[in-house]
Amino acid sequence: MSSVPTPVSQTAEYLQAIRQRVGTIVVGQDVVVERMLIALLTSGHLLLEGMPGLAKTLLVNTLAQAMHLHFRRIQFTIDLLPSDIIGSEILDERTGGFRTHQGPAFTNLLLADEINRAAPKVQGALLEAMQERKVTIGNQSYPLPVPFLVIATQNPIEQSGTFELPEAQLDRFMLCHRLGYPTLAEEEEILRRNLKLGVKRDGTGAVARTEFDLIQGDAIGTEADLVAAMEAANHIHVSDVFLKHVVDVVERTRKHPDLELGCSPRAGISILKASRARALLHGRDYVVPEDLFALAEDVMLHRIRLTYEALAEGKTAAGVLREILEASVS
Amino acid sequence: MIRRAFIALLLGSALLRAEDAAVPTQRVGQPLEIRDLYVPGGEVKAKPRRDRKPPLMVRILEVKPAKDGSRYDFEVQGLEAGTYNLADFLEAPTGTVLPAIPLEITTAIPEGLVHPNPAEASELPEFGGYKTRMKILIALWFAGLIAILLWRKKKTTSGSSAAESIQPLADRLRPLIAAASKGELASDDRAKLERLVIGHWREHRPDIAALPPAEAMSKLRHDPEAAPLFLALERWLHARSSETTKAEIDQLLAPYGDSGRG
């Protein structure tokens, strides 16, 4: 890495330190941490698809603490209202006037747990805030804190009583990562760590400690470091050759006979941004095809839709995307 | 004298009336009943109508036994005007001689009227009915299905033949490598060259080709054999300020050019 300029290597070290800090609390899930950092560095948003119990909340909480970011979590339910997210005007009995109560959207890192359980108007309110980075309460607009990153989760199996996010709203998530179960070794390590947790005394009583109690220590770096990292990601070199690769893959999704809906130009932009951030995380000052291939599934899979014929033949979007990527290098 | 003349007149008119009554008469199509007609001999029957030709239709309404014969009530319907002998339309047992039973069928249609065309059985408006139609539809459906299957097979064959017609990877690489050594590669060609180089490694390393594309790329960048060439190619094509010389490019691409000839 001798050819890598100093600022890039410094930023890469800062980001690597964050990953290591998260790794001390959460076992495995290194790819998810990478995706979260990519979303944070590029001001995108992340959708996590995975079964419950895969440490999503712990992961986001740890990352927020490690980066000294404000963190909030909303559990989406069917009876949630838009005002429960963005806030509302409430009557102040002392003054007789209205005062603004800012909702949990006013944070740096917002974990929207099970986003598909809320009614479409609530999803719409959050997705609007994600795009415009400001919310309107009463007649007044309020900018959201920066950085502002939404990490939404949804359960891919349980569909009863849920409202599936439409393609247009899915497109607003820069990345959609599918969380898998940990490997056997990781699972064993999780259990070993859990055995050592013990109990936490509180006055005369005690409560069993959880992994959340391990989130301690000073934040790594400052807000200025994060801003520098965001700027560094924005200066990562993108060659004309890489642009051609991106255009080629995006074009192939539009022409593939098994796809009814191909990738939008926003998908191409997202790949470029995400590739830059990934290159920075890997200590490079230029993007390479590996970035494109590594991020293609997370950036493109939720943006494409299979035809009815392909569905009837038992094909999957992931399989078709793999075909496209393989065809692009043969 | 006058008295005799009156009696003669009465007898004459009575004879004339009797003569008139002896020949029953009816219009065409109207039933003519002849009651209590004595026919000597065995019992007679109406001749069955085998076709439309007989001009009379005869029914025997009742048969009453009488000395050496029977008394019959007939109902006769004339189909054509004329004078007929009813005996011609009856069947008698062997040995029985039927007397003449004259009758007359009249008509109101004036003479010389053109006879209507003979009624001929016309052809049915269409051949067969529902079943035939269904059979035709099923036959058409199967013909269509076979046509679609044949068309798809042809399309697949032409698709695979098109794929076969694509040049081997090495043949596509060679002109790009030649252009690269001359420094004449445009961005498009550089992108093609890089994709073909990745394809080359996937072709020569089945263990890497079996992996998902993302993992394959990662593996290539860490593979002892491929990584040096691969990383050098990346630096040449993607780095901000590539200082790769022409000699280095030739050296970098030499293995790919050689493999095509082998």
- Which pLDDT score is estimated for B256? 67
Residue B9's pLDDT band, with cuts at 50, 70 and 90, is: low
Pairwise pLDDT comparison (B96 vs B146), residue with the higher score: B146
Residue B190 with chain A: CB contacts under 8 Å = 240-241, 244
- The verdict on a CB contact (< 8 Å) between B195 and A328 is yes
Q: What is the mean pLDDT of residues B222-229?
A: 81
Indicate yes or no: pTM above 0.90.
Answer: no
- Which pLDDT score is estimated for A176? 92
Report d(CA B202, CA B169) in Å as an integer.
Answer: 11
- Which pLDDT score is estimated for A1? 42
- The verdict on a CB contact (< 8 Å) between B239 and A294 is no
Is ipTM over 0.90? no
Q: What is the mean pLDDT of residues B8-19?
A: 54
> Of the given ranges (A76-80, A90-94, A197-201, B26-30), which has the lowest mean pLDDT?
A197-201
Would you tell me the crossing angle of helices A30-41 and A56-66 to the nearest 10 degrees?
A: 50
Report d(CA B9, CA B25) in Å as an integer.
Answer: 25
Q: Which of A239, A297, A322 sits opposite B238 (nearest CB)?
A: A239
Q: Is the pLDDT of residue B193 over 60?
A: yes
Q: Output b/e per residue, B225-252; b: 16+ Cβ within 10 A.
A: ebeebbebbbbbbbbeeeeeeeeebeeb
Q: What integer best gives the mean pLDDT of chain A?
A: 87
Q: Does B155 touch chain A (CB under 8 A)?
A: no
Q: What is the mean pLDDT of residues B60-79?
A: 92
Residue B245's pLDDT band, with cuts at 50, 70 and 90, is: low
- Which pLDDT score is estimated for B87? 92
Task: Identify the structural domains of chain B with CATH numbers, from first to last.
Answer: 22-106 (2.60.40), 169-261 (no CATH)
- Which pLDDT score is estimated for A226? 87
Q: Does A293 touch chain B (CB under 8 A)?
A: yes
> Which residue in A has a C-alpha nearest to residue B203's C-alpha?
A330
Pairwise pLDDT comparison (A83 vs B253), residue with the higher score: A83
- Which pLDDT score is estimated for A227? 87
Residue A136's pLDDT band, with cuts at 50, 70 and 90, is: confident
Pairing of strands A109-113, A134-137: unpaired
Q: Which of B113, B59, B104 is nearest to B81 (CA)?
A: B104
Helices (H) then strands (E): counts for chain A: 13, 13
- Which pLDDT score is estimated for B262? 39
Report d(CA B89, CA B157) in Å as an integer.
Answer: 82
Report d(CA B218, CA A68) in Å as an integer.
Answer: 32
CB A214 within 8 A of CB A194: no
Residue B164 with chain A: CB contacts under 8 Å = none
- Which pLDDT score is estimated for A100? 87
Top CATH class of A1-194+210-235 equals alpha beta
Residue B148's pLDDT band, with cuts at 50, 70 and 90, is: very high
**What are A42-101's pLDDT values in tens digits?**
988 999 988 888 888 888 888 888 888 888 999 988 898 988 988 988 888 888 888 888
Q: Is the pLDDT of residue B30 over 80?
A: yes
> Which residue in B has a C-alpha nearest to residue A295's C-alpha?
B214
Residue A194's pLDDT band, with cuts at 50, 70 and 90, is: confident
**Per-residue CA distances from A253 to B45, B83, B250 (Å):** 96, 99, 34
Q: What is the mean pLDDT of residues B46-62?
A: 91
What the block records as the tokens of A96 is 């007789």
Residues of chain A with pLDDT > 90, as a percent, come to 27
- Which pLDDT score is estimated for A294? 92
- B73 burial type by CB count under 10 A (0-12 exposed, 13-18 middle, 19+ buried): middle
Top CATH class of A236-330 equals mainly alpha
Cα B62 from chain centroid? 55
**Per-residue CA distances from A137 to A98, A141, B82 (Å):** 11, 6, 112
- Which pLDDT score is estimated for A4? 43
Q: Which of A20, A27, A46 is nearest to A35 (CA)?
A: A46
Q: Which residue has the tokens 């043949």?
A: B171
Which residues 219-248 of A are in CB contact (within 8 Å) with B? 237, 239-245, 248
Q: What is the mean pLDDT of residues A281-286?
A: 90
Tell me chain A's radius of gyration from C-alpha atoms: 21
* Extents of the domains making up chain A: 1-194+210-235, 236-330
CB A187 within 8 A of CB A82: no
